[in-house]
């Protein structure tokens, strides 16, 4: 099992946000984490990748307990994270941003061609500053940079945020290709219904730091379900 989380708690200082989260993600599965603003989705992702400490509970990656492992070691084990807001080095070039990602996989892990196969625009923009790219291009760079580190599991935090609808569709297609061609396992935090429909095998719903429901991709299509669990105006 790529990811197996039991009774996880985490938060900021004394404030507990993530509470008693138990979840698992199967090999090659695409799991969506949904929920309204501020319910703790990003906090959960940060805890899984090690940017926030685990207060209680366990996180296992391929049967290894990584709950107390440093974020950089988790990344080297094969966990890639595309943060909300993308986390690019905006004053560095596209190429240098990719180098940062490649370092995670260690020397010799350079696989630019593979990254460019998925994101040809990055090759065209190689010497341009990351901050000068469009929102959609920046999201592709954030994604490509993680891919350069050879992940087996990727966590994406709201990749559709601030991106035009046609690029959102493109991101959806890329996520599916990564699963089919590279066997990647994906956890995606999303509020964009179209993207969730397009890619997710299964959805878990968060509210106030807890998982309150689990839905199939078909169930999420019901308008009243979406209204209940997502921050969308209907
Ligand atoms: N660095 C921080 N320090 C203290 N509290 C924080 C910090 N970051 C987030 N929080 C609080 O934790 C709670 C959960 O925030 P989080 O960012 O995980 O939610 P989210 O579900 O990702 O929201 P969104 O959909 O807006 O991205 C919120 O109440 C937020 O105010
Ligand atoms: Mg968030």
**Closest residue (by CA) to atom 11 of ligand 1?**
38
Lowest mean pLDDT among 33-42, 96-105, 170-179, 189-198: 96-105
What does pLDDT average to over the chain? Answer: 91
- The pLDDT-based confidence of 233 (bands split at 50, 70, 90) is very low
Interior CA angle at 5 toward 209 and 86, to 5°?
65
Rounded Cα–Cα distance for residues 153 and 187 (Å): 8
pLDDT above 90: percentage of residues in the chain? 71
Q: Is the pLDDT of residue 110 over 80?
A: no
- The pLDDT-based confidence of 231 (bands split at 50, 70, 90) is low
Rounded Cα–Cα distance for residues 60 and 2 (Å): 8
Q: Given this model, what pLDDT does residue 166 score?
A: 86
Ligand 1 pocket mutation, candidates 13, 41, 231, criterion most atoms within 8 A of CB: 41
For residues 101-109, give the mean pLDDT.
65
Q: Extract the tokens encoding 106.
A: 């260690």
Q: Extract the tokens encoding 121.
A: 């625009």
| CA 46 to ligand 1: nearest atom | 18
- The pLDDT-based confidence of 108 (bands split at 50, 70, 90) is very low
pTM, full prediction: 0.94
Pocket around ligand 1 at a 6 A CB cut-off: 12, 17, 35, 37-43, 84
- The pLDDT-based confidence of 81 (bands split at 50, 70, 90) is very high
- The pLDDT-based confidence of 219 (bands split at 50, 70, 90) is confident
Phi and psi based region of residue 31 (left: phi greater than 0; alpha: psi -120 to 50; beta: remaining): beta
Of 48, 54, 99, 93, the residue nearest 75 (C-alpha): 48
**Which run of H or of E encompasses 7?**
strand 3-12
For residues 98-102, give the mean pLDDT.
87
Query: Do 2 and 61 form a contact (C-beta atoms < 8 A)?
Result: yes
Of 102, 72, 75, 97, the residue nearest 86 (C-alpha): 97
Domains and CATH numbers, the chain: 3-229 (3.40.50.300)
Helices (H) and strands (E) in the chain — how many of each? 9, 10
Query: Do 204 and 211 form a contact (C-beta atoms < 8 A)?
Result: yes
For residues 85-96, give the mean pLDDT.
94
């Amino acid at each position: 099992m790529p990811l197996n989380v039991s009774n996880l708690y985490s938060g900021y200082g004394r404030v507990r946000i993530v509470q008693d989260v138990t979840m698992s993600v199967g090999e090659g599965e695409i799991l969506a984490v949904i929920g309204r603003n501020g319910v703790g989705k990003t906090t959960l992702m940060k805890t899984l990748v090690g940017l926030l400490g685990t207060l209680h509970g366990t996180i296992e990656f391929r049967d290894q307990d990584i709950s107390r492992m440093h974020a950089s070691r988790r990344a080297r084990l094969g966990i890639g994270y595309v943060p909300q807001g993308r986390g690019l080095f905006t004053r560095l070039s596209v190429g240098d941003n990719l180098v940062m990602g490649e370092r995670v996989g260690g020397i010799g892990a350079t696989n630019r061609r593979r990254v460019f196969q998925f994101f040809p625009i990055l090759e065209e923009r190689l010497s341009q500053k990351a901050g000068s790219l469009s929102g959609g291009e920046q999201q592709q760079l954030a994604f490509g940079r993680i891919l350069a580190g050879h992940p087996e599991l990727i966590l994406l935090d709201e990749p559709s945020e601030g991106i035009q609808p046609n690029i959102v569709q493109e991101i959806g297609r890329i996520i599916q290709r990564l699963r089919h061609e590279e066997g990647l396992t994906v956890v995606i935090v999303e509020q964009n219904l179209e993207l969730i429909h397009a890619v997710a095998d299964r959805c878990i719903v968060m509210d106030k730091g807890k998982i309150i429901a689990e839905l199939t991709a078909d169930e999420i299509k019901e308008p009243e379900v979406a209204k209940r669990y997502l921050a969308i105006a209907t």
